[in-house]
Structure 1
């Protein structure tokens, strides 16, 4: 089992659905100019599993990476459908890993944010304490 495809998929999902909408107005303006069906599709694909499936299909086609390499060598009785079945099953497996990756990132955010806020509060109190001592 290889995790490259899933790691890239998690990165793409985070970029498109979480980071780009926060990085200024250009991405949101671009989304607003899209036809309504594409805007709806963007909103509905926030699900990491659903989007992960399509991301995995595209990434597999672009990179040739397989999450489960055994799916590249399906039995010959599948005939001409063999590559499509392999890609489909691999994308399903990759989507599960992408969803797990997004859940892990989400679970780590709260403790990381609390730690950051505690540090900021400490630094503010330290600056305030030094300013009070300097004034006295």
Structure 2
């Protein structure tokens, strides 16, 4: 199992859906300027599993790395059908691990956010 694409995929998800919307209004204006169907896709792909599948496929296409190299062997054994199934299975596995990674990072960051809120409550905003 290779982790390079998975780490990159989790980072892409966190950046596009959890951080950029809070970094000023420029990103929201950018999303609002998109055509309606793309705005709908962005809103509906907030789920790290749903978008994780597509991020996994895109990263595989760009880097050529398989999350599980065994899926790459399917094309040698089954031909074109195996190649398509290998990509789909790799994308599905990526989606599960992407969602797991996002949940883990959010769980780890929650206590830090509570501590920051209590500090601001005690000492005021910096």
TM-score by length of 2: 0.88
Tell me, yes or no, if the aligned pair for 1:71 and 1:90 is still in contact at 8 Å.
yes
**Number of the residue aligned with 1:47:** 47
Unpaired stretches in structure 1, ≥5 consecutive residues: 126-136
Alignment of 1:1-136 (within 5 A): 1-74=1-74, 76-120=76-120, 124=123
Q: Aligned partners of 1:21, 1:114: CA distance in 2, in Å?
A: 21
Tell me, yes or no, if the aligned pair for 2:53 and 2:91 is still in contact at 8 Å.
yes
Q: Deviations over 1:68-125 (max 9, x none)?
A: 1111111645222222211111010011000001111111222111222344456x39
Tell me, yes or no, if the aligned pair for 2:17 and 2:46 is still in contact at 8 Å.
yes
> Across the two proteins, how many residue pairs are aligned to each other?
124
Higher Cα Rg: structure 1 or 2? 1
